[in-house]
Amino acid sequence: MRPVSAPPYAVPARPTEPVTSMTTHRPAVRPATHADLPRALRTLDRAFADYPFTRHTIAADDHAARLHRSNELFVARIGLAHGRVWVADDGDAVAVWTTPETAAGEVFAELGPRFAEIAGDRAEASAQAEAAMGVHRPGEPVWFLGSVGVDPGCQGRGLGRAVIRPGLEAAEAAGVPAFLETSDERNVGFYERLGFEVTADYPLPGGGPHTWAMTRKPGV
């Protein structure tokens, strides 16, 4: 049974910073509001434009518009309404979390048909991917990093690490793990440096991308 903190329509986390990034920039990170939505969506749309998971689960036909609608639904109706969202440098980076307190079951059920419509002819692939990922999600309460992205033009400034940090600190303070999924192997080392460990890796069905489930235990 899926914990309410594990969003069934999360977008596995996008690469956030080049692993060789060196910067003295100090990002300004703050909780997002609805006023941040346009800039946050632009960042996520750009960050996920060629991401293997979204290319597999969202139709190629009018893909950019479909991706935008999916990001908007997830950030506005799930993250801002029922979880926690942070932005760095006024939206150059975005992190969307659900938490153990996120009472989102009814919302996910309500939004399921809308996500399926957005997926178009990839709706079945999306459902199969969700079922495959669900097997590897934790049964305990977690802070779930459902989506994170850095504007490709703003990488190398430490924004990815900075925008993720508040959620990690909140999970640590609550004494619960943080959890994420990624469908790009380049992400794995980045998240390991933040204290995450790979708990499962598996191919998504139907020729989908390989995906990694990663958990960060309290006290790391």
pLDDT tens per residue, range 127-137:
999 999 999 99
- Band of residue 198 on the pLDDT scale cut at 50, 70, 90: very high
| Count of domains observed in the chain | 1
pLDDT tens per residue, range 144-175:
999 999 999 998 889 999 999 999 999 999 99
In a domain, 22, yes or no: no
Sequence-separated contacts (24+) of 187-191 with Cβ below 8 Å:
187/13, 187/14, 187/15, 187/16, 187/212, 188/212, 188/214, 189/19, 190/15, 190/16, 190/17, 190/19, 190/160, 191/13, 191/216
- Band of residue 6 on the pLDDT scale cut at 50, 70, 90: very low
Contacts of 52 (CB under 8 A, 6+ apart): 183, 184, 208, 209
In a domain, 145, yes or no: yes
In a domain, 105, yes or no: yes
- Band of residue 11 on the pLDDT scale cut at 50, 70, 90: low
Q: For residue 130, what is the domain's CATH number?
A: 3.40.630.30
Distances 184 to 15, 70, 73, 125 between C-alpha atoms, Å: 7, 19, 23, 18
- Band of residue 5 on the pLDDT scale cut at 50, 70, 90: very low
pLDDT of residue 20 exceeding 60, the answer is no
DSSP states of 164-203 = HHHHHHHHHHHT--EEEEES-HHHHHHHHTTT-EEEEEEE
Contact 94, 85 (CB under 8 A): yes
Average pLDDT for 176-191: 96
Q: Which domain holds residue 79?
A: 30-216
